[in-house]
Amino acid sequence: MKYIAFWKALTSRIVVITVSIKEMTTVFRLLDAINLRYDIVVNKFDLVKCEEREKFQNQIKQQIIDCKLRGVNNLWFISAENPNEFPDWENFTDYLQRS
């Protein structure tokens, strides 16, 4: 219970995953339960083979639907090690600067 005030006080809630929505299901369920909005960053997208990236993106989007996540604002696919490789990096940093 003491963490609910912490979560509510944050101006941005960004959850970072690498492989699956299921990595952070408990966090997503908590945020949804207290009706808070959040953003999801899929990091290390550069490790996914080029020919499999669209399929991977669709998998993540389907997992969001399957897990019935209600509070997702944005979904970004990035690589922190290779930030210029994917256009989502610029969109993500612009969003952070506006928040």
CATH of the domain at 68: 3.40.50.300
User: What is the full per-residue pLDDT of the chain (99 aa) written as tens digits?
Assistant: 677 888 888 888 999 999 999 999 999 999 999 999 999 999 999 999 999 999 999 999 999 999 999 999 999 999 999 999 999 999 999 999 987
What would the 3-class secondary structure string for 32-74 be? HHCCCCEEEEECCHHHCCHHHHHHHHHHHHHHHHHCCCCCEEE
Q: Which domain holds residue 61?
A: 2-98
- What domain count does the chain have? 1
